[in-house]
Amino acid sequence: MSEHEFDPEGTFTDESSIFGLPKDMESKLSILPTAWEVTTSFRRGTLFGPEALFNATKQMDLFHPYWRKSYEKGISWDVDFLEKTKLMNSEATPYALNVINSLETGGEVNQQDIEKVNMASDNFNEYVYNTSKLILENDKNKRIGLVGGDHSCPYGLIKALSEKYDGDFSIIHLDAHFDLRDSYQGFRHSHASIMKNVLDLKTAPKIYQMGLRDFSASEFNLASEKTTFLLDQEFHKLKIEGKSFRNILDDFFKNLSEKIYISFDIDGLAPEFCPNTGTPVPGGLAYSEAVYLTHYLHERGHELIGFDLVEVSPDCDKEDLGLDEIIGSRLLYELSCFALS
């Protein structure tokens, strides 16, 4: 579809793609919607996050006072990828639930179920990795964003980028949790282990972590040795005592790489902005602070080589759009425009 046939101020139809854009539009950004929540250990629902976000994006105006008309560079949404991950998720989830139920009730855990989940996670990670690698090989200027699903989803994408850039970039990890467990509930690729698995990559990028307010002692100790982090309590203490958000960011990101990847777990926000996410925790960033962060990083000249937005869970009892996907869709647009800028 030619540019003059697309009306960004019109009504987006059922035939529209993500953000109401034409499906046949050439794209500089590929979004991989990922319906995988096999290892989710508390409230489930991230499985439905990608489709809820997709629907919410059609209720947005695309002109942006900061990013202007970045959408004109094109954003694609891979429906086939979503359907494949749905199938993989449905096949592996029963084994994970057996393990989780046994642990929670004090029953005997079937080790074969754990191995089946670990094998399924390996296959899933390989699928994400191979898909990401193929996209990057076919167009060296293409950007990839992944929408989850739980936070284990982006490992394959990060692995592909770590190989392409030889680890020469920084991950900005926004989350209530460190996600640095060696494994959780026996699952090697748990949502609680994503950053530990990234650290174990052959060409691991540097990791900067913000929003942190619920974690184990072992995770804190590993982070103190391996990552750069700002605890949420310290962040709010600095603000209360009068330090500006920008000055806090200046100090925190003083050694940040030029190339960056943003891994955004929605529970990095305060829970009033994501009430249905799986593991909400009091505290966290305000929505406006998260948006400012993307503008701040762009103004500093950082290149966003990829991103993920995970753990968005819609209110499944509501037929209409809920707060989680409405806010999540705006964050997805900010990240997408940054990647396209």
CATH classification of the domain holding 297 = 3.40.800.10
- Residue-wise pLDDT for 239-249, tens only, equals 999 999 999 99
SS3 assignment, position 19: helix
Amino acid, single-letter form, for residue 226? K
- CA separation for the pair 317, 322 (Å, rounded): 10
Tell me the residue type at 162: S
205 — alpha (psi -120 to 50), left (phi > 0) or beta? beta
* CA pair distance 44, 132, nearest whole angstrom: 26
In the predicted model, what is the mean pLDDT of residues 332-341?
97
DSSP 111-134: HHHHHHHHHHHHHHHHHHHHHHHH
- Confidence band, pLDDT 50/70/90 cuts, at residue 190: confident
Q: What is the DSSP string of 84-104?
A: HHHHHHHHHHHHHHHHHHHHH
Report CA-CA distances (Å) from 215 to 33, 256, 270, 286.
28, 24, 16, 20
CA angle at 60 for the pair 57 and 61, rounded to the nearest 5°? 140
Q: Is 145 exposed, middle or buried (0-12, 13-18, 19+ CB in 10 A)?
A: buried
Q: What is the pLDDT of residues 38-69, one digit of tens each?
A: 888 777 889 999 999 999 999 899 999 999 99
Residue with tokens 């829970």: 271
Q: Give the domain extent around 11.
A: 3-340
| Residue with tokens 């629907």, as numbered in its chain | 55
pTM of the model: 0.95
From first CA to last CA, the distance across the chain in angstroms is: 22
* Count of Cβ atoms closer than 10 Å to residue 314 Cβ: 24
Q: How many domains does the chain have?
A: 1
* pLDDT for residue 168 is more than 80: yes
**What is the four-CA torsion angle of 39, 40, 44, 50, rounded to 10 degrees?**
-80
Confidence of residue 2 (pLDDT cuts 50, 70, 90): very low
Give the three-state DSSP class for 29. strand
* CA–CA gap between residue 177 and residue 13 (Å, rounded): 38
Beta-strand ranges (E) seen in the chain are: 29-33, 75-77, 143-147, 170-174, 206-212, 228-231, 259-265, 303-310
Local structure of 277: helix, strand or coil: coil
pLDDT (tens digit per residue) in 209-239: 999 999 999 999 999 999 999 999 999 999 9
List, for residues 257-312, the tens digit of each pLDDT value.
999 999 999 999 999 999 999 889 999 999 999 999 999 999 999 999 999 999 99
CA 49 to chain centre: 11
**pLDDT value of residue 1:** 41
Q: What is the pLDDT at residue 105?
A: 86
Quickly state the pLDDT bin for 145 (edges 50, 70, 90).
very high
